């Protein structure tokens, strides 16, 4: 194909170059927002002086200190993401009024390939935002001023989520020289974590620090907690690793189940860390072992290697541009997109053994282990570049 056909029209590039107040819509989980940060950075680098506001999910406010390219975050509940029953019509009206009052020049609706951008596009149109960009499967007519036809129609062939969003902003001529995920650490968080690590392990020089995250929002993406415990125990007893379990307060039972499988000592910080402190801990870790969840993408943003027990519910969210090992088993039901395993067997991750997780962690730590030279893993998409 002629390269010129892939370039955005000159008049559209000119129109978007004049944007000064941008609304970025990403009403999803933390990991999804982190995978959008390279595209947000492209906006900031391509249009000097642009002010970016992020319309995010209810918990998005915690990201505010950590996204340097974002001026403001608006947390919101919307009915088109996850069927949020808490979102009432009056909330929609109030949100439209707030967005209209901000007088945005443009809005970009970031979605995964299985989501529709049109509800958010309508919201932005009702708020009077003149330029509106998104990926769409059908002709949006007046709901969008600029749009990119959806090409990720076959899930198994879908682009990585980060590449998808970079391609979207590239349609209006926005690019970045650094395609890594972004997460800015705060000095106070680093100081607290460093002080805690020094207190718990005062003589730990040269000892690997392994952060284990046994939770995930969807049950279909959770490797059995006991296997996390078995892998952590082997890393601690046989390889001298310091083990720290993380998670939300609701995930404390998973952490307890994992630690009950261990004979070696470990620490549990479930429900005790702010997002910034979690980031600081992951930045200090030598490797993160966890499910496909927000901390895996946080590790990618901070350059910490990841062992990702990756359920095959969807293919496009592997750790981006960081050393990683993606562990799973191929199954006929891959790409189910379900929060609970529809077959009830969880074979895509249940087939992964603790020994494989240990071997993958040792590879990333640069230590010899008993794992086979080539682990039986299925790297769905390029995990590092």
Mean pLDDT of 306-332: 94
- Measured between alpha carbons, how far is 89 from 273 in angstroms, rounded to an integer? 34
Q: Is 331 exposed, middle or buried (0-12, 13-18, 19+ CB in 10 A)?
A: buried
Same fold, 3-170 and 188-365: yes
Amino acid 6: pLDDT: 53
Lowest mean pLDDT across 29-38, 209-218, 319-328, 340-349: 340-349
Query: Model confidence over 205-217: pLDDT tens digits?
Result: 889 999 999 999 8
Given a cut of 60, whether residue 36 has pLDDT beyond it is: yes
The average pLDDT across 343-347 equals: 86
User: Picking from 152-161, 230-239, 349-358, which range would have the lowest pLDDT averaged per residue?
Assistant: 152-161
> Which pLDDT score is estimated for 85?
56
**pLDDT value, residue 367:** 74
Asked if 69 and 108 touch (Cβ cutoff 8 Å), the reply is no
pLDDT (0 to 100) of residue 76: 93
Residue 328 pLDDT > 60: yes
Residue 37 has pLDDT above 80, yes or no: yes
Give the right CATH number for 3-170 from 3.40.50.2000, 3.10.20.600, 3.10.129.10, 1.10.10.10.
3.40.50.2000
Residue 9 has pLDDT above 90, yes or no: no
209 CB-near residues (< 8 Å, 6+ apart)? 197, 241, 242, 244, 284, 285, 286
Q: Look at residue 345 in the predicted model and tell me its pLDDT.
A: 86
Neighbour count for residue 340 (Cβ, 10 Å): 11
Residue 91 is predicted with a pLDDT of 85
Indicate the domain borders of the chain: 3-170, 188-365
* Mean pLDDT computed over 183-212: 96
- Compute the average pLDDT of residues 39-64: 97
State the fold for domain 188-365: Rossmann fold (3.40.50)
12 — pLDDT class (breaks 50, 70, 90): confident
Looking at residue 83, what is its pLDDT? 54
Per-residue pLDDT tens for 245-287? 999 999 999 999 999 999 999 999 999 999 999 999 999 999 9
**Residues 351 and 329: beta-carbon distance below 8 Å:** yes
DSSP 280: H
In the block, tokens 């492209």 appear at 42
Residue in the structure block whose two tokens are 């499988």: 261
- The 10s digit of each residue's pLDDT in 217-236 is 889 999 999 999 999 999 99
Amino acid 87: pLDDT: 64
Average pLDDT along the chain: 91
% the chain with pLDDT above 70: 92
Q: Say whether pLDDT at 338 is over 50.
A: yes
């Amino acid at each position: 194909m002629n390269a010129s056909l892939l370039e955005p029209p000159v008049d559209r590039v000119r129109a978007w170059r004049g944007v000064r107040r941008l609304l970025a819509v990403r009403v999803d989980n933390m990991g999804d927002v982190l995978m959008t940060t390279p595209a947000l950075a492209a906006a900031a680098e391509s249009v000097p002086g642009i002010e970016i506001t992020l319309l995010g999910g209810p918990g998005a406010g915690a990201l505010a200190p950590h996204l340097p390219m974002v001026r403001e975050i608006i947390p919101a509940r919307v009915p088109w993401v996850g069927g949020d029953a808490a979102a009432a019509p009056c909330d929609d009206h109030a949100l439209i009024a707030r967005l209209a009052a901000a007088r945005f020049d443009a809005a970009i609706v970031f979605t995964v390939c299985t989501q529709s951008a049109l509800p958010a596009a309508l919201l932005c149109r009702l708020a009077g935002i003149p330029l509106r960009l998104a990926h769409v499967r059908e002709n949006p007519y007046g709901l969008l001023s600029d749009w990119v036809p959806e090409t990720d129609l076959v899930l198994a062939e879908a682009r990585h989520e980060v590449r998808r969003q970079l391609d979207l902003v590239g349609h209006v001529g926005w690019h970045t020289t650094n395609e890594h995920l972004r997460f800015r650490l705060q000095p106070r968080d680093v100081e607290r974590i460093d002080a805690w690590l020094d207190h718990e392990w005062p003589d730990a020089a040269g000892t690997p620090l392994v952060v284990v995250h046994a939770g995930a929002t969807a049950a279909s993406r959770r490797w059995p907690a006991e296997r996390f415990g078995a892998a952590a125990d082997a890393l601690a007893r046989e390889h001298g690793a310091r083990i720290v379990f993380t998670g939300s307060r609701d995930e404390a039972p998973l952490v307890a189940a994992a630690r009950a499988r261990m004979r070696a000592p470990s620490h549990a910080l479930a429900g005790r860390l702010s997002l910034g402190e979690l980031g600081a801990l992951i930045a200090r870790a030598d490797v993160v072992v966890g499910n496909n969840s927000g901390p895996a993408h946080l590790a990618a943003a901070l350059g910490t290697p990841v062992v990702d027990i990756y359920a095959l519910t969807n293919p496009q969210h592997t750790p981006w541009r960081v050393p990683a090992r993606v562990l799973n088993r191929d199954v006929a039901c891959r790409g189910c997109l379900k929060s609970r395993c529809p077959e009830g067997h969880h074979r895509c991750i249940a087939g992964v053994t603790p020994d494989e997780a240990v071997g993958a962690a040792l590879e990333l730590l640069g230590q010899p282990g008993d794992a086979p030279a080539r682990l039986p893993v299925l790297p769905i998409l390029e995990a590092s570049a």
